[in-house]
Amino acid sequence: MAFKTLATLLTIVATVQAASTGLTKRVVCPDGKNTVTNAACCPLFALRDDLQRNLFNNGACNAEAHEALRLTFHDGIAISNKTGNHGGADGSIMIFDRIETAFHPNIGLDEVVAQQKPIQARHSINPADFIQFAGALAVSNCPGAPQLPFFLGRKVATAPAPDGLVPEPFHTVEQILDRFADAGPVGFEDVEVVWALSAHTIAAANDVDPNTPGTPFDSTPAIFDTQFFLETQLHGTTFTGRTGVKGEERSAVRGEMRLQSDHLLARHNRTACEWQSFVNNPQKLHDRFIDAWLKISLLGQDQDLLTDCSDVIPVPKTINVQATFPPTLSNKNVEQACADTAFPTLASAPGPATAVPPVRR
Ligand code: HEM
Ligand SMILES: *[C@@H]1O[C@H](CO)[C@@H](O)[C@H](O)[C@H]1NC(C)=O
Ligand SMILES: *[C@@H]1O[C@H](CO)[C@@H](O)[C@H](O)[C@H]1NC(C)=O
């Protein structure tokens, strides 16, 4: 036992030494102000400044930042093991944008691509890398987010992705899990799908119900917190816009939208316990989202051939918040779906009711 502790300590010392050696090896970029571990990453600073100023409203977790993250997924997930693993995070959604943004699940991304394309064009970075870089940078603007890794040097698409590879909110849990399992030579396990969906903590829908654009998936869409996992587990009572929209379920909070897919994943026995495990666990949210997102961002690519430029991505602002039930709601409103573990006991936020009584059809 004592030996094991000593060995662990020595490993830590060695790691710290290695890290400080790494620090001394940093190079100063030609701009004279930024330093990186790999000089190949230097041009990304000018791109970073351009994106922050001209797309993300000076570093905000704004709608364009949310869309930039969504775009990383819609480019990456378009790869299938069944048909030979062509595609993935290869920029095809930007290179063949007229074709791919016309696919139904990519609705709304035509505008995002149109905003991003001119920025990509004025920097020496290919569309595949650009999309993933913009997404990692976008997430760094959201308080509470993890610092996502970014690797440079992707090969780009020579053909558009076929339609039918991006999940839809009206798909069944089995369809969604099958699709993710088929994405790439390794695929995604059930739990990894839940990890990836942490993205919906900084998200809203514009086109699911076009009458209510910008309806968020949790009560804190500008913060990377665990409210999304809590709020999707609550008994749903209200539609913010129209009733009966395809792919939408009742949410528990006025002004919020719940996707049917998120509703079902939160309740299915293959995913419910993993879903619940994120509630009020920001450390797990960080660790697992980094894993899942990195995997998405490298679909169809060989990580060993890429350059680690993660140090160009800013460290996001930290937050210290407890997950809370929306005002007037409590553990009584939880639709418990995980059979193994009780839902955590949490406080309810003060304030007036945002939830409304059940809507009668
Ligand atoms: C089961 C899988 C998924 C489904 C069915 C799904 C579906 C959707 C839908 C329908 C929207 C609203 C689009 C609109 O009407 O504007 C949306 C938004 C979004 N999704 Fe997903 N999604 C999935 C997984 C993911 C993943 C894995 C990520 C990222 C890693 C992601 C990131 C986002 C973001 C950031 C938004 C917000 C965009 C905005 O605010 O404009 N989604 N998703
Ligand atoms: C990918 O396809 C190969 C060949 O058909 C198959 O052996 C392998 O199990 C598949 N991988 C996944 C993750 O489905
Ligand atoms: C989930 O439920 C289905 C049917 O309700 C059952 O057949 C299956 O074995 C369950 N799976 C797990 C992992 O508990």
Convert the pLDDT of each residue in 178-195 to its tens digit. Answer: 999 999 999 999 999 999
pLDDT in tens, 8-63: 444 444 444 445 554 557 899 999 999 999 999 999 999 999 999 999 999 999 99
**Integer angstrom CA distances of residue 193 from 45, 161, 174, 344:** 32, 21, 12, 22
Closest C-alpha residue for ligand 1 atom 32:
70
Mean pLDDT of the chain: 92
The dihedral built from the CA positions of residue 243, 244, 248 and 252, taken in this order, carries a sign that is positive
187 lines ligand 2 (CB under 6 A): yes
3-state DSSP percent of the chain in helix, strand and coil, to 5: 45, 5, 50
The minimum-distance atom of ligand 3 relative to the CA of 270 is 13
269 lines ligand 3 (CB under 6 A): yes
Ligand nearest to the CA of 183: 2
**Integer angstrom CA distances of residue 116 from 58, 97, 112, 133:** 15, 12, 6, 11
| pTM exceeding the 0.75 threshold for the entire prediction | yes
Ligand nearest to the CA of 203: 1
Cα distance between residue 319 and residue 358, in whole Å: 34
Distance of CA 147 from the midpoint of ligand 2 (Å): 32
Q: Can you name the residues that pair with 87 across neighbouring β-strands?
A: 79
Res. 4: pLDDT tops 90: no
Distance of CA 171 from the midpoint of ligand 2 (Å): 22
Mutate to test the pocket of ligand 3, among 269, 274, 341 (most ligand atoms within 8 A of CB): 269
Ligand nearest to the CA of 272: 3
Residue 258's H or E segment, with its range, is strand 258-259
- Arithmetic mean of pLDDT, 112-120: 98
Around Cβ 222, how many Cβ atoms within 10 Å?
19
Distance of CA 291 from the midpoint of ligand 2 (Å): 21
Backbone torsion region of residue 359, taken as left when φ is above 0, otherwise alpha when ψ lies between -120 and 50, otherwise beta: beta
174 lines ligand 3 (CB under 6 A): no
Closest C-alpha residue for ligand 1 atom 11:
205
Q: Report residue 25 as tokens.
A: 């090896």
Q: Report residue 187 as tokens.
A: 């695929």
15 lines ligand 3 (CB under 6 A): no
Closest C-alpha residue for ligand 2 atom 5:
82
Distance of CA 203 from the midpoint of ligand 1 (Å): 7
The residue among 3 and 47 whose pLDDT is bigger is 47
The minimum-distance atom of ligand 2 relative to the CA of 187 is 13
Distance of CA 289 from the midpoint of ligand 3 (Å): 26
pLDDT in tens, 76-110: 999 999 999 999 999 999 999 999 999 999 999 99
| Active site positions, annotated | 74
Cα distance between residue 205 and residue 215, in whole Å: 5
Residue 361: predicted pLDDT: 24
Cα distance between residue 305 and residue 301, in whole Å: 8
* Residues 180 and 117 sit within 8 Å (Cβ to Cβ): no
